[in-house]
Amino acid sequence: MQSRIAVVQFGVNPFEIDDNIGRAEMRIRQAADEDAELVVLPEYAVTGVGVGMQDYADAEGANLRAFRRLASEYNVDLIPGSWQEKEDDGRIYNTTYYIDRSGEVLARYRKVNLWLAEKPYVTPGDGAVVADTRLGKVGLAICWDLAFPELFRGMFRQGAEIAVCASCWAAEDAGAGQQYESRSEQILIDSCCTARAFENEMAVVFCNTAGTWKGSKGVLNSAGHSQLAMPFLGRFAVIEDNHEAVLTCELDKSILDEAERSYEIKADLMRGESAR
């Protein structure tokens, strides 16, 4: 019932694809040396974010091939963050994958709930995706998805025990809200991770970027706060600031069974659905 998961809070250099994959490999190697079974990277771990991102959308599958090789080489399951992919019809999706330790792709997820800057040109995905893995059933999410409980309930209905959210989330995303509380986004991340864990009786793994990057309105600071959360425990492991780090810890899935015995959320949902 134990799973060992490594969350890589990673500083991404905008559009320096080869460099970012090379530095990601160093962190994957570190996590493998710490006996991680699953390694998680942040959203846009390959390209970072910036004006003209659509010009770097992967239409050839090169990014996926690189990370399939790394998963196999280091014998770890891997959620390699996300990147933009372009289809033959020109549509662009913000996409992540679950890759197992043999390099096999077990699931592909395309971000459903787009952030403001993505909406003009990124096409949303069409629903929750859950991978059947050696760690159990793992649901995939990307960044702003975390604020939408409906997506996580969709994973829950597919039997997800763990939900992984790869993110590129800035402290300044609160906009005018920062005048009321400078740490608004950290509060939002912590609250959503804990709420999604309790209300779905699942573990939530949140992986953010590190450091700073240049946005259209100036320098942005990562909100950091990569973490793991579970029922009863809330956020039980967290990188409190936005520095680059690997957080590796044990996840005890027996807690999820205890949560169902205490709250009976699954049972109540099944009863409600059968009554309709």
Q: Per residue in 57-68, pLDDT tens?
A: 999 999 999 999
**pTM across the whole model:** 0.97
pLDDT value at 271 more than 90: no
Distances (CA, A) of 8 to 27, 37, 150, 243: 7, 13, 26, 11
pLDDT value at 188 more than 90: yes
pLDDT value at 186 more than 80: yes
Q: Per residue in 194-231, pLDDT tens?
A: 999 999 999 999 999 999 998 777 899 999 999 999 99
Compute the distance between CA of residue 247 and CA of residue 148 in angstroms, rounded to an integer: 25
Compute the distance between CA of residue 173 and CA of residue 152 in angstroms, rounded to an integer: 22
Compute the distance between CA of residue 244 and CA of residue 47 in angstroms, rounded to an integer: 17
- Tokens found for residue 156: 């829950």
Q: What CATH number is associated with residue 200?
A: 3.60.110.10
Number of domains in the chain: 1
All residues at 6 or more sequence positions from 35 whose CB lies less than 8 Å from its CB, including other chains = 4, 248
Nearest to 188 by CA among 210, 211, 165: 165
Distances (CA, A) of 261 to 230, 231, 270: 15, 12, 14
Enclosing domain of residue 114 = 2-275
Place of tokens 């043999």: 102
